[in-house]
Amino acid sequence: MKYLKTYEGLFDFFKKKKKEGPISINNDKEFLEKHLEEVRSCFLELNDQNINLSVVQSSIGNGEILVELWKDESKDNSFFTNSLDPSFIKLEDLMETFRFTDSYLTELGLKINRYELTIFGDYDNATYMGGIYYDSIQELESHLDKEGTKHIESVLIRITKL
């Protein structure tokens, strides 16, 4: 221990310590690929709610897992928010799954970067067709009462490495 307290000892100690290089994009993609099935399992219960699920690794950008959720029009319509158009998702029914997924992914070293809601309907006193984006689960929860969240056609969740 006395040796480390001298300048030569400290210099030798840090010289022998291997420096970590920058994390490459390929390492991120391999990391995401390794966790693809675990991410898929977070959302499997939504199949019981007649919500289709697609979990894929993005082939563009710096590596993301993309989770897409949409309603299956041919199945039971007990969770539809608008009986005239059975393709809408009732977001309130998904929030418990989203909260669980958010905490579970953090334990895996992953994070949700964005929730992208594709909507068609009334929003901000106009008929709107397009996307609404939320960067966190808290932001999404705070906007549940907005009119646009009642007309959700699909949800895309972007997941990256922490």
**Is residue 19 scored above 50 in pLDDT?**
no
- Whether residue 94 is contained in a domain is answered as yes
Is-above-0.85 flag for pTM? no
For residue 111, being part of any structural domain is answered with yes
Q: What is the DSSP secondary-structure string of the chain?
A: -HHHHSHHHHHHHHHHSPPP-PPPHHHHHHHHHHTHHHHHHHTGGGGGGTEEEEEEE-SSTT--EEEEEEE-TTS--TT-S-TT-TT-B-GGGTHHHHHHHHHHHHHHTEEEEEEEEEEEEEETTEEEEEEEEESSHHHHHHTTTSGGGGSEEEEEEEEEE-
In-domain check, residue 5: no
Q: Tell me what pLDDT residue 116 has.
A: 95
Query: Based on the structure, what is the number of domains in the chain?
Result: 1
Q: Has residue 148 got a pLDDT over 60?
A: yes
Q: What is the pLDDT of residue 157?
A: 96
Alpha-carbon span 109 to 31, nearest angstrom: 9
pLDDT band at 17 (very low <50, low <70, confident <90, very high): very low
Q: Which residues constitute the domain of residue 98?
A: 23-161
Q: Per the structure block, which two tokens stand in for 156? A: 């895309």
Residue 59, pLDDT score: 76
Task: Classify residue 58: in a domain, yes or no.
Answer: yes
Residue 37 lies in a domain: yes
Inside any domain, residue 12: no
Best-predicted range by mean pLDDT (90-94, 97-101, 142-146): 97-101
